[in-house]
Chains A and B, each alone.
Chain A
Amino acid sequence: QKEVEQDPGPLSVPEGAIVSLNCTYSNSAFQYFMWYRQYSRKGPELLMYTYSSGNKEDGRFTAQVDKSSKYISLFIRDSQPSDSATYLCAMGYNFNKFYFGSGTKLNVKP
């Protein structure tokens, strides 16, 4: 079983839609949770970081962590064509090793 599971998509939505991206994990020791965005032929870019459980909001992005269910989510409100990319979740239990999901490809249609 992989440490982190993520639906690869692709997920196709119309512009303005609310997007929900999710990951599940198996290691209950994970306490650092990140979401990255990766455009084609580029390195990942950190979007959101959450420590332990709870919600965090930054502009159109909201990250949620439910440690009891081992489930994390990223919501994107008012999605834009420029949001089209692959979204990667990542997590870890210390600072020297992070586990990534396989990424969900998102396409926002104008």
Chain B
Amino acid sequence: ETGVTQSPTHLIKTRGQQVTLRCSSQSGHNTVSWYQQALGQGPQFIFQYYREEENGRGNFPPRFSGLQFPNYSSELNVNALELDDSALYLCASSYGDSRTYEQYFGPGTRLTVT
């Protein structure tokens, strides 16, 4: 059973640029959730994708967008990067049923915006 993987591991971008982060879900999972974790804080929910459709969104502006592909892998896109976007971005995959609480997290992508 393959776990959740994320790429890249680290990324440095300049304010105003755009970034794409990638996530491969665990085998058998059809739901992916994305979280932003600032230093010393808990993860904050960005959005969730279930079977290629957005299935819930947190309090993040529209410049945060996502995609889920037929193989249930996912991308997080952030446009017009701001300094406050510097954080660890986590994706978590799960089954899209009553077991959705059982999320398996990837190791994260650490984004630094300068």
Contacts and interface: CB of A to CB of B under 8 A. Distances in A.
Are A and B associated in one complex? yes
Contacts of B101: 32, 34, 49, 92, 95, 98
B8 interface: no
A34 B43 CA distance: 13
Contacts of B56: 94, 96-97
Interface residues of B, number: 26
Contacts of A6: 42
A45 to B, nearest CB: 7
A76 to B, nearest CB: 19
Contacts of A8: 40
A100 B40 contact: no
A81 to B, nearest CB: 22
Nearest to A99: B45
A88 B43 contact: yes
Interface string A90-110: 101011111111110000000
B105 interface: yes
B107 A43 contact: yes
Main secondary structure of the interface of A (DSSP, over half): strand
A42 B41 CA distance: 14
A8 B102 CA distance: 24
A77 B41 CA distance: 26
Interface in B88-108: 90, 92, 98, 100-108
Interface of B: 4, 33, 35, 40-45, 48, 50, 55-56, 58, 90, 92, 98, 100-108
19 contacts: A41-B107, A42-B107, A43-B90, A43-B92, A43-B106, A49-B101, A88-B43, A94-B56, A95-B98, A95-B101, A96-B33, A96-B50, A96-B56, A97-B56, A98-B101, A100-B43, A100-B45, A103-B40, A103-B41
